[in-house]
Amino acid sequence: MKLIDLTQVISPKMPVYPNTEPPKFNHVCTLEKYGFREIELTLYTHTGTHLDCPSHLLQKGETIEELSVEQFYGKAMMVDCRNIKGDRIELEYMKPFFHKIKTVDFVLFHTGWSEKWGTAEYFKGFPVPTVELAEKMATLSIKGVGIDAISVDPIDTEGLKVHNILLNNKIIIIENLTNLNKINNEYFTFSCFPLNIQQGDGSPIRAVAIEE
């Protein structure tokens, strides 16, 4: 069994979504003064590698605590989108994969954008699913969709249409994945457990691929 960490490191200088404050680290307890270390950590629920649950956008959408823990674990596959021209993952491009997607719980889009992490380019031109593709994905009984980019919608989007389609169908969204290039198996187990936050609209996660 092989475990592959798909998670970006949380740090005070990490990239965050535009107009979001970066994490703040306050080293309140030190070994020298208290004999132990403890950090006061301030961060948004959608910081770093994280998931969006329905309440992120929907008035009556489920919060983290209302979703079954099974929602965050299951069989997955990855779709290589690194050779796509432009910034859209089209329905037509995905058609050859639909018969496989019907057998999994999670689909991870490998755009290669995580290689731009820490640069201004990370926020520009990343491929995202089209509305038509999101609508098709919503019919496939999957638990979640993940991507190695800042969002499943463009930064300059109006209405977060892809988010809304997926979340309205109780499909969680995992963003800012990394190391997807290290996955070798066609199918693998994917884990994206969040903190169990009261009325949580999302949470940083430790995303892991498990290859047998």
pLDDT tens readout for residues 134-185: 999 999 999 999 999 999 999 998 899 999 999 999 999 999 999 999 999 9
Contact residues for 71 (Cβ-Cβ < 8 A; gap 6+) = 143, 144, 170, 172
Question: For the chain, which residues make up each domain, given as ranges?
Answer: 2-17+44-211
% residues pLDDT > 90 (the chain) = 98
How far apart, in whole angstroms, are the C-alpha atoms of residue 122 and residue 196?
29
Average pLDDT on 72-91 reads 96
pLDDT at 158: 87
CATH classification of 2-17+44-211 is 3.30.1360.200, yes or no? no
pTM for the whole thing? 0.97
Give pLDDT tens digits for 25-74.
999 999 999 999 999 999 999 999 999 999 999 999 999 999 999 999 99
